[in-house]
Structure 1
Amino acid sequence: MDYDQFIFCLEAVTDVETNTTTEVVKNLEQLAFEQGITSIYKTCDTIEGLEESLNTLLHEDHNFKDYEIIYLVMQGEGNTICLNEYYYSLEEIAEIFEGKMKGKIFHFANSKVLDLSEEEAQYFLDITGARAISGYGSAFHNLTSGPIDKAFFSLCQEQDDLVEIVEELYKKHYALCKLLDFRMYY
């Protein structure tokens, strides 16, 4: 099955010069092979690298409108991400991409706990123009969110209604959704 919506994955690494095949890359390859969902994978080790990668996607990729999901695999907690031992708030990230992410879903892997107040989530959505922000309330570093991320991405391809996507995800993967505390702000 071919989809016309893609995933843009940005993974935080210690050094972008080091070329390593991570579990995230393997999961994205498996998603492409099994379900035909196309993705672009990039790494970053600084806030400038994050900004440059997303700006390149935004300004130079003619299929940008087809990238429904911005998948961020990075450390952090609550309202921050961590790149190269520096913490950045989601408000700072929102201001970098002000009005540029219309209709996108920002999804965080469970390497970062996503715990936002209603005001923080709404600010991020309003400033970026994003459709939703999702992730997990529990990190469980010995348990990756890869399998549930793949299920979520697949549901996003099949359905448009965010409430239905979350309900279906919980129906099919209740134990993992509860364990990792899947959440979506929209």
Structure 2
Amino acid sequence: MDYDKFIFCLEAVDDVETETTTVVVKNLEQLAFEQGIDSIYKTCDTIEGLEESLNALLYEDHNFKNYEIIYLVMQGEENNIELNGYYYSLEEIAELFEGRMKGKILHFANAKVLDLTEEEAQYFLDITGARAVSGYGLAFNEVTSSGLDKAFFSLCQDEDDVVEIVEELHEKHYTLCKMLDFRLYY
């Protein structure tokens, strides 16, 4: 399988200077090895680092159009992400990347709950230009979303219709989708 769609993963860490191989990196390596889906992995510990990483992807990577999924592994509460003890609302994140996520799916791992009202979701999609935003209603407790994330990423490679992707994900992984409360706003 030779895919031309990639994943850009940005993981929040305590200190970008400390190099560690996280579970997320191992899962992305496994995804590349088993399914041939390539990714770029970056870490950030500040909002400036998040912005810098995404700007580098937007303006310096000539393959940006091939990055269909922006995979965010960040903790947070409600509709905020947490970076080094500071909370940023998804509205702030949307404004930070105004119009620059056209056609992308922003996917949040279950390190944080994604629980948007219809208005919040529409605002985020309208401002960023993203095609969809997805995540989970159940935060990481005993079960990580990594297995379901990989299944979702794989389906995104073969299908463009987000509704079909979610339907197929539920058909193949119903129990896990329900247990983690998979959500997609489009």
Q: TM-score range by the shorter chain?
A: over 0.9
Structure-2 residue corresponding to 1:4? 4
Letter in 2 for 1:114: L
Distance in 2 of aligned mates of 1:85 and 1:184? 27
Measure the CA separation in 2 of the matches of 1:51 and 1:140.
25
**Matching residue of 1:104:** 104
Q: Are 1:166 and 2:166 matched, yes or no?
A: yes
Distance 2:77 2:150 in 1: 22
Distance 1:67 1:128 in 2: 15
Q: Which residue of 2 aligns with 1:140?
A: 140
Measure, in 2, the Cα distance between the counterparts of 1:100 and 1:70: 12
Q: How does 1:19-168 map to 2 (within 5 A)?
A: 19-168=19-168
Q: Secondary structure at the match of 2:41?
A: strand
Q: What is the TM-score of this pair, normalised by structure 2?
A: 0.99
User: 2:112·2:140 contact (CA, 8 Å) conserved in 1?
Assistant: no
Aligned residues: 186
CA contact (8 A) 2:73 2:109 kept: yes
SS at match of 1:100: coil
Superposed CA RMSD in Å reads 0.6
Q: CA deviation at 1:175?
A: 0.6
Task: Give the C-alpha shift of residue 76 in structure 1.
Answer: 0.9
CA contact (8 A) 1:25 1:41 kept: yes
TM-score (normalised: structure 1): 0.99
| 1:77–1:115 Cα contact (<8 Å) kept | no
Q: Does the 8 Å contact 1:79/1:115 carry over to 2? A: yes
Secondary structure of the 1:48 match is helix
5+ residue gaps, structure 2: none
Identity within the alignment, %:
82
Note the C-alpha offset of 1:143: 1.2
Equivalent pair of 1:94/1:128 in contact (CA under 8 Å): yes
CA contact (8 A) 2:72 2:109 kept: yes
In structure 2, what residue type is equivalent to 1:60?
A: E
Q: Given that residues 101 and 128 in structure 1 are in contact (C-alpha distance below 8 angstroms), is that contact kept between their aligned partners in structure 2? A: yes
In the alignment, is the contact (CA less than 8 A) between 1:112 and 1:139 conserved in 2?
yes
Detail structure 1 runs of 4+ shifted over 3 Å in the superposition.
none
Q: CA deviation at 1:140?
A: 3.4
Deviation string, structure 1 residues 158-180 (Cα, Å, up to 9, x no partner): 10111110010011111110000
